[in-house]
Structure 1
Amino acid sequence: MKKTVLPFLLSFVLLYSSADAQSIKGAWRSQQPNNSIASLIVADDYLMIASYSILNKYFDRTEGGSFTMQGDQMTYTTEFNTNDTARINKSVVYTVIRKDSILTLRGEDEELVWMLVDDARDKPMAGTWHITGRAKDGTGEMMEIHQTGTRKTLKILSGTRFQWAAIDPAVKGFYGTGGGTYDIKNGKYTEHIQFFSRDRFRVGADLTFDWQLTDGKWDHSGKSSKGDPIHEVWEKINE
């Protein structure tokens, strides 16, 4: 059997343990050619992956979607894929194996491997979030965002990493993504941007927000990467 270490194909889905699916939730990575990185985040039966270079401020590609596990079989349904839109809304099945900090997807003629970054245990922000409220421009008054169509903005967090994506699976629409690492210190939530699909010059920026987590709602306020004031409310997709 041919063994390949982390080519950035659909290797992100490889990372689930049939024995203990909860233990593989978190962040994973692989080193790619030309100093690029492939990053995977898994939470709440959803995953996102991105390929990028911090050094060159280069964003390569991203994809993500929902999954289910049955035994050691993972069924992954793509909701967005910037490299191959033909995969969107289609499902594929993988056999997955985890051994300590190494996760492997075993196919008929290859093996794909990821390395653990963090397992997201006991991290209150770990999960997949969708935006449900936003302040009106000029007034600051909060308005609810009702999901009436298929377009949505999601943000997935592990214990240390985040990625957001604006998508519409029904029309195979992709409207932007960004991600990197985050930390929470002294009552502030800070994102450290490592990739941004719309503007490479925002890579390296740090965005600090006031935040509060109450009854499952994440209240988030500060300034966007453009410097515009924002005030948003997010909730986990499975709550």
Structure 2
Amino acid sequence: MKKLILSTVLMFIATLIMAQTVPDLKGVYTTKKGDINIVWMFIDGYSSQTTYKDNAYVSTFGGPYTYQDGSLNVQVEYNDIHANTIGQTKSFALTANADGLLEQSGQAWKKEAAKTQDLDGLWRITGRKQGNDVVQIHQSGTRKTIKLLVDGYFQWMAIDPGAKTFSGTGGGHYTFTDGKYSEHILFFSRDSSRIGAELNFDGALKDGAWHHSGLSSKGDPIYEIWSRDNK
């Protein structure tokens, strides 16, 4: 009898735990509205939603997020269209499954195929080489440049949540293989003529930091150091 009661209790607890399991939104979701493309990235507790056309950037917003019981809450750190929302929480009613997301409004998002790579994660630039010296940057205040990489997509954002300012963003597809990092640009807020460009860099993980070097989109030599910025 005691064994039966114990078994029943354990089954109840297991069922309760399963019911309370929070889906992992990690990945990339895409949708379209006419000629508008929208990509939504989730990695390391951070999200970014970007709207763009095939030949022009439109807008972006994002920040740390939580998701539970069909409610997605984003603590907005940047929004280049509505700066007044920075510091606020933007909420979405949606359900998640293996195929994607479905908003209460009826908007469906397709989950892009998983493509895990060693650089996947949320990164923050912390150093830059000037001459032969590495100079630390953005070590105080709220100004920062961050980069999300997940399932073959990337996006960088130069932002200052404290000042509610936005300096630019760019993103698209990326690959990282055998020390070679490549980008294919889908959107770039500063110069739409760069859309479609392919950029190739050297990349290496050293003591947990990402050393990124090569030529910028303007053709200038760069050597940057990025550190993981897990939320």
The answer for the alignment partner of 2:164 in structure 1 is 172
The answer for the alignment partner of 1:115 in structure 2 is 110
Q: Is contact 1:67–1:75 with CA below 8 Å preserved after alignment?
A: yes
Q: Is contact 2:78–2:86 with CA below 8 Å preserved after alignment?
A: yes
Higher relative contact order (CA 8 A, sep 6+): 1
Deviation at 1:143, TM superposition (A): 1.4
Alpha-carbon distance between aligned partners in 2 of 1:149 and 1:168, rounded to the nearest angstrom? 9
Q: Percent identity?
A: 38
Does the C-alpha gap of structure 1 residues 104 and 129 become closer, same or farther in structure 2, counting only changes over 3 Å?
Answer: same
Gaps of at least 5 residues in structure 2 are 1-19
1:99 is matched with which residue: 97, 100, 103?
Answer: 97
Alpha-carbon distance between aligned partners in 2 of 1:19 and 1:113, rounded to the nearest angstrom? 22
Does the C-alpha gap of structure 1 residues 111 and 130 become closer, same or farther in structure 2, counting only changes over 3 Å?
Answer: same
TM-score, with structure 2 as normaliser? 0.85
Q: Is 1:235 matched up with 2:230?
A: no
The answer for the alignment partner of 1:161 in structure 2 is 153
Alpha-carbon distance between aligned partners in 1 of 2:194 and 2:73, rounded to the nearest angstrom? 35
SS of residue matched to 1:68 = strand
Alpha-carbon distance between aligned partners in 1 of 2:76 and 2:204, rounded to the nearest angstrom? 31
1:131 is matched with which residue: 115, 122, 125?
Answer: 125
Q: Is contact 1:27–1:117 with CA below 8 Å preserved after alignment?
A: yes
Alpha-carbon distance between aligned partners in 2 of 1:172 and 1:118, rounded to the nearest angstrom? 34
The answer for the alignment partner of 1:210 in structure 2 is 202
Alpha-carbon distance between aligned partners in 2 of 1:165 and 1:94, rounded to the nearest angstrom? 22
Deviation at 1:202, TM superposition (A): 0.9
Alpha-carbon distance between aligned partners in 1 of 2:138 and 2:59, rounded to the nearest angstrom? 29
Alpha-carbon distance between aligned partners in 1 of 2:92 and 2:187, rounded to the nearest angstrom? 28
SS of residue matched to 1:125 = coil
SS of residue matched to 1:195 = strand
Deviation at 1:69, TM superposition (A): 3.4
Alpha-carbon distance between aligned partners in 2 of 1:94 and 1:52, rounded to the nearest angstrom? 20
Q: Is 1:42 matched up with 2:39?
A: no
Alpha-carbon distance between aligned partners in 1 of 2:149 and 2:23, rounded to the nearest angstrom? 17
Which residue identity is paired with 2:161? P
Structure 1 ranges of 4+ moved more than 6 A: none
Deviation at 1:215, TM superposition (A): 2.8
